[in-house]
Amino acid sequence: MPTNPPDHLNNIERALIDKLRSGTYKTVGGSATAWSADPPDVTVYGQFPTTDDVSYPCLIVEMVANGIETQFMGQNITKNDGTAARGELYGIGFNIYIMVDRASSIDITNTIAGPSNVTQPYKERRLLNYLMLNGANVLMDLDFADIVKGAAGTPAATEIDERHFSGFRNIGYDPALELWSSQASMVVTFKNSR
Amino acid sequence: MPGLVGSQGVRAGALNMGRIFRALRYRTEQAQYVVYNRPTIYKTDAYGVPSGTIGSEEILLPDLQAIIRPAVTADYQQQRQGSNIIGAARIYTPNITTIKNYDNFNQNNNTDFNEIEGWDKLITNYRTVFSVPTTGTTNWTGTGSVASDGESLTLTATGDGNLLYETSIKNTLEADRLRFKIKGSGAVELKAVRSYHGGTTSAYRVNWDNANFVLLDDNWLTVDVPFVSGTTSTSIYQTGTRYDVPVTTGASFDYENDLRIFRIEYNAHNGDTLQVKDVEYYKSVSWHVHSLKDMTDGYIIFDCVRTQGRNDSRRRAYD
């Protein structure tokens, strides 16, 4: 048993935040733009921001649950390199929020729907709709290759088994705060080698 | 019966709001001149979502008298959504007839203002962070001669030019708005306001380059503009007419750096005078109207909340 087991939860949470930040979507001219380019069109927070530095539109990643997904005979698993280890499949659940306030506006060039090559500012509900689908695209495309390989900067390899993006819900408007928001869930399972 | 009774002057037993405002303003900070702000309203498209076409320009009108009675001034508890109600106050203003008699609020001058509605903002001065002194001429220079009457600073211009206050390092970290009063005689035209932070070259300044306009003779105009990162546009109103103010910053500018120069640029004829006073960088609190509690012929009561505010310790630490 390793004396200092890999910090899987933080590895995955940080990888998810990094991937959301580097995930791209189409803005002006149809070119791909990272959510969090500088200055960012969309800010990705790793936890709920304080009111002094919140900037809209934003994505907020929050871990809401984790626990054993499946345990195998004798609590044994086989790691990707073929070695046996003690452990189980462990799951993490994330909520990912998208928030848009009244002042939020992103210029989007439409090349498919509507008049072609017309750039329009997207706001409020329209912007939220746009960000939800682009957010879903990023979540469905993302991989955890970096942490699986144990890339530089990660303390040890975390072996991802499955990930499920389960869609957006609670889509709505909070009039007291003047925020349009929605909430997506995501589950990641990994081999928790101990 | 605001029309019938209200027009007969102040009745015995009625509230003299003007007097209350004055008394409270002199004795406490509960009564203030606040800035009324309604953000730009965009036309909606056929699906009900705002487009890029402006339907009603931003309204930013200083000098509205108000009494602020906070129930909660600041609530630091953090809630989900990254935003939460962090303050609540009951705000009293004069009645709507009185408000509409102010030049900027007069619908003959400003057709966009009707009344104070939900989600309009009342911006108050929470704390003056740095006040540029106009009680003397120390550190003031300009294109012409400068003098002070102990309250305001007067520049007698020789032509187009600038009036500036250059100082050793002054901390303005906590400030998020800049306010000053300005008065011109003759054909003095306000061109721009600049604030230099961390250096004295153009790279270190924030520029409020307003659409040029002639200052009314013998009439103090209050200019109150945001001094906060991310601002690209604001407004100056004179007798109900809006002058657009694009806001730009130099490459080395940082809102957290110390103040070096406060500068006003103008066009003027030889002999015209320009007066400035009450120059202050201040920390504001922005109250959003949530409900109208009472509307009498003496006053209006609004229940307001804050949903965003700054935490200066984190700002210093993080940025």
What's the number of domains chain B is made of? 2
Residue B63 shares a structural domain with residue B149: no
The backbone region for A153, taken as left when phi is positive above 0, alpha when psi lies in -120 to 50, beta otherwise, is left
CB spacing of A120 vs B309 below 8 angstroms = no
Secondary element (H or E) of residue B147: strand B144-148
| Closest-CA distance of chain A to residue B226, Å | 16
Residue B198 shares a structural domain with residue B292: no
Which tokens belong to B75? Answer: 């609530």
Residue B222 shares a structural domain with residue B232: yes
Residue B111 shares a structural domain with residue B171: no
Please report the pLDDT score of residue B182 as a whole number.
Answer: 96
Q: Tell me the per-residue pLDDT of A43-75, one tens digit each, with 9 for 90 and over.
A: 899 888 877 668 889 999 999 999 999 988 888
Q: Tell me the per-residue pLDDT of A180-192, one tens digit each, with 9 for 90 and over.
A: 999 999 999 998 8
Residue B270 shares a structural domain with residue B294: no
| Closest-CA distance of chain B to residue A51, Å | 5
Q: Report ipTM (2 d.p.).
A: 0.71
DSSP readout, chain A?
Answer: --SS---HHHHHHHHHHHHHHH-EEE-GGG-EEETT-SS-SSEEESSPPPTTT--SSEEEEEEEEEEEEE--GGGEEE-TTS-EEEEEEEEEEEEEEEEEETT-EEEEEESSSSSTTEEEEEEHHHHHHHHHHHHHHHHHH---HHHHHT-TTSSS--EEEEEEEEEEEEEEEETTTTEEEEEEEEEEEEEEE-
On whether residue B188 sits in a domain, the answer given is yes
On whether residue B2 sits in a domain, the answer given is no
| Closest-CA distance of chain B to residue A191, Å | 31
On whether residue B8 sits in a domain, the answer given is no
Please report the pLDDT score of residue A94 as a whole number.
Answer: 95
Residue B69 shares a structural domain with residue B109: yes
Cα B281 from Cα B126, distance rounded (Å): 11
> What residue of A is the nearest CA neighbor of B86?
A51
Residue B266 shares a structural domain with residue B179: yes
One digit per residue, pLDDT tens: chain B, 319 residues?
A: 454 444 555 555 566 777 777 777 666 667 889 999 999 999 998 888 888 899 999 999 999 999 888 887 777 776 655 666 778 899 999 999 999 999 999 989 888 899 999 889 999 998 899 999 999 999 999 999 999 999 999 999 999 999 999 999 999 988 999 999 999 998 899 999 999 999 999 999 999 999 999 999 989 999 999 998 888 899 999 999 999 999 999 999 998 899 999 999 999 999 999 999 999 999 998 899 999 988 888 889 999 988 776 667 776 776 6
CB spacing of A54 vs B39 below 8 angstroms = no
> What residue of B is the nearest CA neighbor of A119?
B52
Cα A124 from Cα A176, distance rounded (Å): 15
Over 50: is that where the pLDDT of A1 sits? Answer: no
For B238, the domain range is: 129-282
Q: What is the CA radius of gyration of chain A?
A: 19
CB spacing of B50 vs A124 below 8 angstroms = yes
On whether residue B183 sits in a domain, the answer given is yes
CB spacing of B85 vs A124 below 8 angstroms = no
CA angle B110, B234, B306 (to 5 degrees): 90
Euclidean distance between the first and final Cα of chain B, in Å?
A: 55
Q: Tell me the per-residue pLDDT of A157-176, one tens digit each, with 9 for 90 and over.
A: 788 888 899 899 999 998 87
Residue B243 shares a structural domain with residue B144: yes
Which of A99, A105, A121 faces B82 most closely, judged by CB atoms? A99
| Closest-CA distance of chain B to residue A169, Å | 15
Please report the pLDDT score of residue A153 as a whole number.
Answer: 52
On whether residue B272 sits in a domain, the answer given is yes
Which of B50, B80, B119 faces A48 most closely, judged by CB atoms? B80
Please report the pLDDT score of residue A143 as a whole number.
Answer: 79
Name all domains of chain A by residue range, CATH numbers in brackets.
8-193 (3.30.2000.30)
Which tokens belong to B304? Answer: 């307001």
CB spacing of A53 vs B78 below 8 angstroms = no
Please report the pLDDT score of residue B7 as a whole number.
Answer: 53
CATH number of the domain to which B254 belongs: 2.60.120.260
On whether residue B189 sits in a domain, the answer given is yes
| Closest-CA distance of chain A to residue B285, Å | 12
Residue B189 shares a structural domain with residue B102: no
CATH number of the domain to which B61 belongs: 2.40.10
Name chain B contacts of A177, Cβ cutoff 8 Å. Answer: 81, 83-85, 307
> What residue of A is the nearest CA neighbor of B291?
A176
On whether residue B6 sits in a domain, the answer given is no
Secondary element (H or E) of residue B27: helix B17-27
Residue B120 shares a structural domain with residue B259: no
Please report the pLDDT score of residue B27 as a whole number.
Answer: 66
Entry pTM: 0.82
Please report the pLDDT score of residue B70 as a whole number.
Answer: 83
Q: Tell me the per-residue pLDDT of B55-108, one tens digit each, with 9 for 90 and over.
A: 999 999 999 999 888 887 777 776 655 666 778 899 999 999 999 999 999 989
Residue B69 shares a structural domain with residue B154: no
CB spacing of B83 vs A179 below 8 angstroms = yes
Torsion sign, CA atoms A27, A28, A31, A35: negative
Residues A111-135 have a mean pLDDT of: 82
Residue B117 shares a structural domain with residue B200: no
On whether residue B5 sits in a domain, the answer given is no
